[in-house]
Amino acid sequence: MSFSFDHLIQGFATALSLQNLLWALVGCFIGTLVGVLPGIGPASGIAILLPLTTVLPPTSAIIMMAAIYYGAMYGGSTTAIVVNIPGEASSVPTAIDGYEMAKQGKAGPALAICAISSFVAGTLGLIGLTFFAPLLADVAVVFGPPEYFALMFMALTLIISLSGRALLKGVISMALGLMTALIGQDPLTGAARLTFGFPKLLAGIDFISVIVGLFAISEVMVNVESRITAISQKIGSWMPSWADIRQSMGAMIRSSGVGFFLGLLPGVTPSVTTFVAYDLEKRISKHPERFGNGAIEGVAAPEGANNATSTAGFVPLFSFGIPTAPSMAVLLGGLMMYGLQPGPMLFKENPDFVWAIIASMYIGNVMLIVLNLPLVGMWARICVIPFYILGPMIVFFSVLGTYSIRFLAYDVWVMTLFGVIGYFMRKFGYPIAPMVLATVIAQMMEMSLGQSLLMSQGSILILFTRPISAVFMALAFVSIARGIWLQIRSHAPEVAVEEVD
Amino acid sequence: MKTIRQADIGAGCFLALLGLFILYAASNIRVGVERALSPRFFPSVLGFLIFACGIGLAFKSWRFRGEDPRIHWPDRQGAGIVVVSLGMLAAYIALMKPLGLPLSTFLYVTASIGFLKPQKWGTAIATGLILGIISYVVFIDLLQLSFPVGSLLERLLEG
C-alpha cells in the first residue's frame, strides 16, 4: 500500500459526486440514529442495512456503510451523557463525567465537546490513515498474543487506579467482572464453567447486559428512591464556552494519538482505548479530583479515543483484511459481498475504490459535526423531562437494547440482576468501571494467554522475554506496586472516587 | 448496615465465602484434553483473588478506627418505590413473551408512570401508547428485529 496525492485527489473527485455525497449524508444520519438508539449497535445497524444496499454501486454502498459506522460512534455518547445509558462499553468512560455534567445542567456543552472531540480525533485519525498506513500496518503485525495479553493486563491495572482510595474495592470489582465473563463455556475447550448446574448459564453473560444493568437500571433505582423530579432542573448554555474548548483541546489531541495507535492493533477495541485515554487524562491533570465529578476533559478524552480507534481500525481492515471489531467484521462482509478482497492487493487492484472511501470519510466527518452540533440542544432537553416519565422510558430502552443482543429474555433478567448489584455497589462505594472493563476484555485476555502459552510450550516467561510485552507487563506491575503502596499508607475507609459527594 | 465500615466487614466475609465457593466450583470443571491453559486456571485464580480481597477488606475495615461515612439508604417510602419498581420491571420481562413487546411495553410504561405520579394517569396512558406503538412500528415492523409480537396482537393484526 502506498500513498499518492493523485489517488487521494481522484478519491475526493469520486466521493464528491452528488450520488456519493447523498449516500454519505444518509449514512451519517442513520449512523447517528443507530448510535443514539440503545436497541441497535453499529454492527447490527450495518448488518440490517447491508442487504438493502445491493441496489447501489459498490463504492456508494461502502461509503454509506462506513458513514453508518463512524456516525454511530458520534451518536453513541448521547444516551451515555443525558440518561447514563452507555449503549456500548466504549461509552462508559464518557458517562462517568458526561452524566455528572448533565446533572449540573451542562448536557449541552458535554454533547458539543463530544462532537468536537470526535471531529478532531476523526480528522487526525484520517490523516494518520492516509499518510502512515503502510508503516503503521507493519508495526501492528509485530503484536502477537503475548503483547495483547500484556496490553490488556496493563489496561486492567490502570483502570483500577481510577478507583481512587477504594483500591481494594477496585480489585474486587475487576475480579467480579472477570468472573462474570467466565460464566458459560470455555472458549478454547468448550468446558462448562461456573454454571453451577444451570443449563441457561451455558449461554454465558453478555457484557451489554452487565453495562446497561450497572449503569442505567441502578441509576433509575437511585433516582426513584430519592424521588428526584428530573435529571437536571435547568438547561444552561447549549454550546461550550471557549474556556471549555481550550481546557479540552489537549485531551482531544492526546486521546487521538492514544486511540489511533492502539486502534491499529487488531483486537484492541474502543472499549479498551477509551478507558486508557480517560486514565491518562486523569493522571496528567493538575486537578484529578475533578474527574468523576463533571470534568470536561473526562468527556473529550474517551470520545476522541473512540473515534480515533474507529478510524484506525480501517488500517488493518484495508491492509490485511483483519476486522478489529464486530462492526468492522460486518463491513468486511460488505466488501466481500461486492467481490472486493481486503488486503495488500486491494490498494493495487482497486485504488479508486479505497481512496474514494478514505476521501468520503473526511467529508463524512465534516457532515457529522454540521449535523450533530445543531441537534445538541434537542438531546440536552432530555435531561429536563420529568423523571416519572423518563425513568420508565430509560427502562424501556434498556430492555430493548439488552433483548436485541441475542433475543433472549435471559439477557434482560441478567440486566436486572446487575441493576441490583450496581445499586448496592453505589451504596457501598465500589467503583463500577473496573467491573465493566474486566467483563469486556476477559475472554480476549484468556484467549491471548492461552495462545501465548501454546507458543511458549506452557512457559509464562514469554510475557517477559518479548520486548513490547515486557514493557507492558513492567508498567502493569509498577501500577500494582504503586496501588499497594498507596493502600498501605491510606488510613481512610474504602470509598470509590465516583461515589464521593 | 448503616456505615461503610459495617458494610465492608459484611461484604468482605461474603466475598471470602464466594471466593471459596468459586475455588470449589473451579475444581469441579471437567478438563478434557490437556492444554497449555486449563479451563480451571482463570476461575481458580479469580476464586483465590476474591477470597484474598474479601479477607483483606474485612480485616482492613475491622481495624479501621477513623470517621466512618454513613450509607445513604432510602427512607421507608423510597425503599417501597424501589421494590415496587423492580417488581414492575420483573413483570414486564415475564409478560414480554406471552403478551408481546408492544402490549407489555404499554402496560409497563403506563403502570410505572401512574405509580410514580398518580395524578398523571392521562400522561401515563399516552406515553405507554406512544412507546408501545414505537416498539412495534420501528423495531418489529421496520427493522424486522425478532421481538415477540404476542398472540393477541398477532390475531388483531391478522383480523
Interface contact A189, partner B, CB < 8 A: yes
Q: What is the pLDDT of residue A32?
A: 83
Share of chain A above pLDDT 90, in %: 19
Q: What is the pLDDT of residue B94?
A: 96
CA dihedral A338, A342, A346, A350 (to 10 degrees): 20
Across the interface, of B42, B81, B135, the residue whose CB is closest to A182 is B42
Is B10 a member of any domain? yes
Give contacts of A 17-76 with B, CB under 8 A. Answer: 39-40, 48
Structural domains in chain A (count): 1
Residue A99: name the closest of A426, A331, A459, A466 by CA.
A426
Taking CA atoms, what residue in A is nearest to B144? A48
Q: What is the pLDDT of residue A235?
A: 64
Cβ-defined contact of B56 to A168 (cutoff 8 Å): yes
Give contacts of A 416-455 with B, CB under 8 A. Answer: 416, 419-420, 423, 427-429, 442, 446, 449-450, 453-454
Please indicate, yes or no, whether residues B51 and B99 belong to a single structural domain of this protein: no
Please indicate, yes or no, whether residues B50 and B90 belong to a single structural domain of this protein: no
Please say if the pLDDT value at position A272 is more than 90.
no
How high does pLDDT run on average in chain B? 90
Residue A53: name the closest of A16, A26, A17 by CA.
A26
Please indicate, yes or no, whether residues B136 and B92 belong to a single structural domain of this protein: yes
Please say if the pLDDT value at position A217 is more than 60.
yes
Burial class (CB in 10 A: 0-12, 13-18, 19+), A97: buried
Please say if the pLDDT value at position B65 is more than 90.
no
Q: What is the 3-state secondary structure (H, E, C) of A313-381?
A: CHHHHHHHCCCCCHHHHHHHHHHHHCCCCCCHHHHHHCHHHHHHHHHHHHHHHHHHHHHHHHHHHHHHH
Give A393 to chain B, closest Cα distance, Å.
7
What mean pLDDT comes out for the span A257-272? Answer: 81
What mean pLDDT comes out for the span A370-399? Answer: 84
What mean pLDDT comes out for the span B67-79? Answer: 86
Across the interface, of A168, A178, A413, the residue whose CB is closest to B93 is A413
CB atoms within 10 A of CB A197: 7
Structural domains in chain B (count): 2
The DSSP line for B13-58 is HHHHHHHHHHHHHHHTSPP-S--SS-TTHHHHHHHHHHHHHHHHHH
Is B68 a member of any domain? no
Please indicate, yes or no, whether residues B55 and B87 belong to a single structural domain of this protein: no
Beta bridge pairs of residue A193: A184
Q: In chain A, what's the furthest Cα-to-Cα distance?
A: 67
Rounded Cα gap, residues A52 and A65, in angstroms: 11
Residue A58: name the closest of A101, A99, A19 by CA.
A19
Q: What is the pLDDT of residue A470?
A: 94
B122 band by pLDDT with thresholds 50, 70 and 90: very high
Rounded Cα gap, residues A234 and A11, in angstroms: 46
Give contacts of B 23-42 with A, CB under 8 A. Answer: 25-26, 29-33, 35-37, 39, 42
Please indicate, yes or no, whether residues B88 and B125 belong to a single structural domain of this protein: yes
Residue A439: name the closest of A276, A208, A160 by CA.
A208
Please indicate, yes or no, whether residues B42 and B81 belong to a single structural domain of this protein: no
**Residue B141 domain boundaries:** 76-158
What mean pLDDT comes out for the span A204-222? Answer: 87
Kindly report which listed range (A140-144, A222-226, A381-385, B150-154) carries the lowest average pLDDT score: A140-144
Interface contact B44, partner A, CB < 8 A: no
A497 band by pLDDT with thresholds 50, 70 and 90: very low
Please indicate, yes or no, whether residues B125 and B147 belong to a single structural domain of this protein: yes
Rounded Cα gap, residues B22 and A195, in angstroms: 11
Please indicate, yes or no, whether residues B86 and B110 belong to a single structural domain of this protein: yes
Distant-in-sequence, close-in-space partners of A484: CB < 8 Å, separation ≥ 6:
none
A30 band by pLDDT with thresholds 50, 70 and 90: confident
Q: Tell me which range, A47-51, A327-331, B125-129, is most confidently predicted by mean pLDDT.
A: B125-129
Strands A192-193 and A184-185: antiparallel
Is B69 a member of any domain? no
Cβ-defined contact of B82 to A224 (cutoff 8 Å): yes
Please say if the pLDDT value at position A1 is more than 70.
no
Cβ-defined contact of B127 to A493 (cutoff 8 Å): no
Whole-number Cα distances in Å, A106 to A368, A372, B89: 21, 17, 30
Is B86 a member of any domain? yes
Rounded Cα gap, residues A432 and A497, in angstroms: 11
**Residue A392 domain boundaries:** 5-499
Please indicate, yes or no, whether residues B10 and B51 belong to a single structural domain of this protein: yes
Please indicate, yes or no, whether residues B25 and B55 belong to a single structural domain of this protein: yes
Please say if the pLDDT value at position A366 is more than 70.
yes
Please indicate, yes or no, whether residues B84 and B143 belong to a single structural domain of this protein: yes
What mean pLDDT comes out for the span B118-126? Answer: 93
Cell of A210: 452487565
What mean pLDDT comes out for the span A113-140? Answer: 81
Distance of CA B118 to the CA centre of its chain: 26
Q: What is the pLDDT of residue A501?
A: 30
Is B90 a member of any domain? yes
Partners of residue B143 in chain A, C-beta under 8 Å:
40, 48
Interface contact B107, partner A, CB < 8 A: no
Q: What is the pLDDT of residue A38?
A: 56
B113 band by pLDDT with thresholds 50, 70 and 90: very high
Please indicate, yes or no, whether residues B111 and B145 belong to a single structural domain of this protein: yes
Kindly report which listed range (A104-108, A304-308, A460-464, B129-133) carries the lowest average pLDDT score: A104-108
How high does pLDDT run on average in chain A? 82
Kindly report which listed range (A68-82, A299-313, B53-67) carries the lowest average pLDDT score: A68-82
Please say if the pLDDT value at position A344 is more than 70.
no
CB atoms within 10 A of CB A488: 8
